[in-house]
Amino acid sequence: MNSTIRELLSKHGGLPVSVETLADDADLYEAGLSSFASVQLMLALEDEFDVEFPENLLNRKSFQSIAAITAAISSIAPDSQVA
C-alpha cells in the first residue's frame, strides 16, 4: 500500500520535492501539499483502493503524512494490503 500511496502522491500531490525523499511520517503540508491537491489525492486514493472516505476522515490530519493516509485507508478497508 505504501508504494501505491507514494505513486499517487507523486502524481496528484504537486509537491515541489520528490516523494521518495519523504519519510512516512513527514508532514505533507509542510512539504508543499495544498488543499486542492489533497482533494485530488483523496479522489485518486478512493479510485485506487475502491473506498470512500467517510466524513470523519475528511480532514487535514488524515492526509498529514503517508503514515496517516495508510492508517485512514486501513481503517476503512481493513482487507487492503499494507506494504
Compute the radius of gyration of the chain from its Cα atoms. 11
Q: Is residue 53 part of a domain?
A: yes
Confidence at residue 81, expressed as pLDDT on a 0 to 100 scale: 52
Whether the CB-CB separation of 1 and 70 falls below 8 Å is answered with: yes
Give the chain's domain count: 1
What confidence category does residue 82 fall into, taking pLDDT thresholds of 50, 70 and 90? very low
Q: Is residue 81 part of a domain?
A: no
Q: Is residue 83 part of a domain?
A: no
User: pTM (2 decimals)?
Assistant: 0.91
Among candidates 51, 7, 16, which has minimal Cα distance to 62?
Answer: 51
- Residue pLDDT, tens place only, 12-67: 999 999 999 999 999 999 999 999 999 999 999 999 999 999 999 999 999 999 99
Q: Is residue 38 part of a domain?
A: yes
Q: Is residue 42 part of a domain?
A: yes
Residue 82 CB neighbour total at 10 angstroms: 10
